[in-house]
Amino acid sequence: MASERKKILLRLDPAVHDALARWAGDELRSTNAQIEFLLRQALSEAGRMPGSAGRMRRPGRPSRSGTPPEGGEKSED
């Protein structure tokens, strides 16, 4: 069984939040998923992504079987 996801309180400037929410909508992600995507991207680029980190689930509804489809993160096309 996967461990429970961590919850944090994040304070943002309202203009930053609005821009992030628009960007998330353009990418078909929730604002929360967009923040996680960007944090993971920054960790990877900095060589700091822990090997134990699970994969992000793909945008959209989970599959009926409850297992995420192959592919994990959205591609950079």
Task: Give the pLDDT band (50/70/90) at residue 2.
Answer: low
Instruction: Determine the pLDDT at residue 51.
Output: 84
**CA torsion angle for 37, 39, 42, 43 (degrees, to 10)?**
-110
pTM of the predicted model, to two decimals?
0.67
In the numeric block, the tokens 């821009």 are attached to 19
Where along the chain do its domains lie? 14-45
Indicate the length of the chain as a whole number.
77
Q: What is the pLDDT of residues 14-69, one digit of tens each?
A: 999 999 999 999 999 999 999 999 999 999 999 999 888 877 766 666 677 755 55
